[in-house]
């Protein structure tokens, strides 16, 4: 009974915090971008503009929820739900702190990879169902991009698995008691971070959206809360990837003095800020550059990392 209650409390609290955080993230991102561009960013609604997101959600909710007459209705409606659901499901396995977390799967990492692979369907379906050439191009790009980057995303994590000897995320955190994997797995970290950004379709890898070529890419035809779902999905996605990076490479909740939860949140937040900084600083690559980078640089680097890690683990054994 108690167990169930704990799970439910966990679940609801995590969901609430996650949603609140993702929502706040849009404000944080805009404030940070503003700061890095010598502006203020949204600072009018509430103290420091924190209520901007409230204003934005009211706006999004009251906008006309329009489905184009030429769209494939069912798929069009379904697509934004998929992205929200898969990213949220993936979050279930994230070990936030001892005792905090939805489930403790012993194949947690694989579950995470599976869920993030499913997420691509949302984009592809949304782009296809819109029946708009820009959306369709966005969908194509998403499909190709996800496919290419997922290959080494999984491989990049194999080093960590080898070192930890487990797919269970809590075990992996525990394995970093002495040394965070960011040191031995520096290459893995670099490749996973890149793949993660690409999976979350964040700048500089937002080619499926690329406003200046494709209007708004896969979500050109989306309005109101359906657009909002894509939007939330993206921010939950960033949070997820950041949480995974922290879990896999920066020791998760581990840290001195402060409680584990605070450490986890702090580390995650720093990674998110780095992602936003990336957006502020780097331009979007050309599509062919993106592909070249994925297949000709990142994949070999990942394989090299795997080789070295394997060799080290073998020799240590």
Partner 1 sequence: MWNSLKTMWIVFLHMFHRRATIQYPDEKPNIPPRWRGRIILSRDPDGEERCVACYLCAAACPVDCIALQATEDEHERRYPEFFRINFSRCIFCGYCEEACPTDAIQLTPDFEMGEYNRKNLVYEKEDLLIDGPGKYPGYNFYRVAGITIGGKNKGEAENEAPPVDPHSLLP
- Give residues with Cβ within 8 angstroms of 311, minimum separation 6: none
Q: Please, what is the angle between helix 260-281 and helix 2-36, to 10°?
A: 30
Determine, following the binding rule CB under 8 A, whether residue 114 of this chain makes contact with partner 1.
no
Of residues 195 through 224, those in contact with partner 1 by CB under 8 A are: none
For partner 1, which stretch binds (CB under 8 A), given 2-10, 38-46, 55-63, 240-248?
38-46
- Choosing from 282, 304, 307, 311, the residue that interacts with partner 1 (CB under 8 A) is 282
Determine, following the binding rule CB under 8 A, whether residue 47 of this chain makes contact with partner 1.
no
For partner 1, which stretch binds (CB under 8 A), given 48-56, 127-135, 214-222, 277-285?
277-285
For partner 1, which stretch binds (CB under 8 A), given 70-78, 105-113, 145-153, 279-287?
279-287
Shortest separation between residue 14's beta carbon and partner 1, angstroms: 31
Determine, following the binding rule CB under 8 A, whether residue 278 of this chain makes contact with partner 1.
yes
163 alpha-carbon distance from chain centroid: 24
Shortest separation between residue 34's beta carbon and partner 1, angstroms: 8
Nearest Cα neighbor of 243 from 85, 72, 50, 94 is 94
Determine, following the binding rule CB under 8 A, whether residue 289 of this chain makes contact with partner 1.
no
Q: Which residues lie near partner 1 (CB under 8 A)?
A: 35-40, 277-278, 280-282
């Amino acid at each position: 009974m108690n167990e169930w209650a704990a799970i439910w409390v966990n679940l609801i609290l995590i969901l609430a915090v996650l949603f609140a955080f993702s929502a706040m993230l849009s404000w944080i991102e805009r404030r940070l971008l503003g700061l890095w561009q010598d502006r203020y960013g949204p600072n009018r609604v509430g103290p420091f503009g924190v209520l901007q997101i409230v204003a934005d959600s009211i706006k999004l909710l009251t906008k006309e929820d329009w489905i184009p007459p030429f769209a494939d209705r069912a798929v069009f409606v379904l697509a934004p739900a998929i992205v929200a659901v898969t990213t949220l499901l993936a979050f279930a396995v994230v070990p936030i702190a001892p005792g905090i977390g939805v489930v403790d799967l012993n194949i947690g990492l694989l579950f995470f990879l599976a869920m993030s692979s499913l997420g691509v369907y949302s984009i592809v379906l949304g782009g296809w169902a819109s029946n708009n050439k820009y959306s369709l191009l966005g969908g194509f790009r998403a499909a190709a991009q996800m496919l290419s980057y997922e290959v080494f995303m999984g491989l990049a994590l194999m080093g960590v698995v080898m070192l930890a000897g487990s797919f269970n995320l809590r075990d992996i955190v525990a394995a970093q008691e002495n040394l965070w994997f960011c040191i031995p797995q520096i290459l893995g970290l670099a490749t996973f971070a890149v793949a993660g950004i690409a999976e979350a379709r964040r700048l500089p890898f937002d080619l499926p959206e690329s406003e200046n070529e494709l209007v708004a890419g896969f979500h050109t035809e989306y309005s109101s809360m359906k657009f909002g779902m894509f939007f939330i999905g993206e921010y939950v996605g960033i949070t997820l990837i950041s949480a995974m990076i922290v879990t896999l490479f920066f020791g998760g909740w581990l840290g001195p003095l402060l409680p584990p939860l605070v450490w986890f949140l702090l580390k995650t937040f720093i990674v998110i800020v780095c992602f936003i900084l990336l957006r502020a600083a780097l331009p979007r690559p050309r599509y062919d550059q993106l592909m070249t980078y994925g297949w000709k640089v990142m994949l070999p680097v990942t394989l090299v990392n795997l080789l070295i890690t394997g060799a080290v683990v073998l020799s240590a054994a």
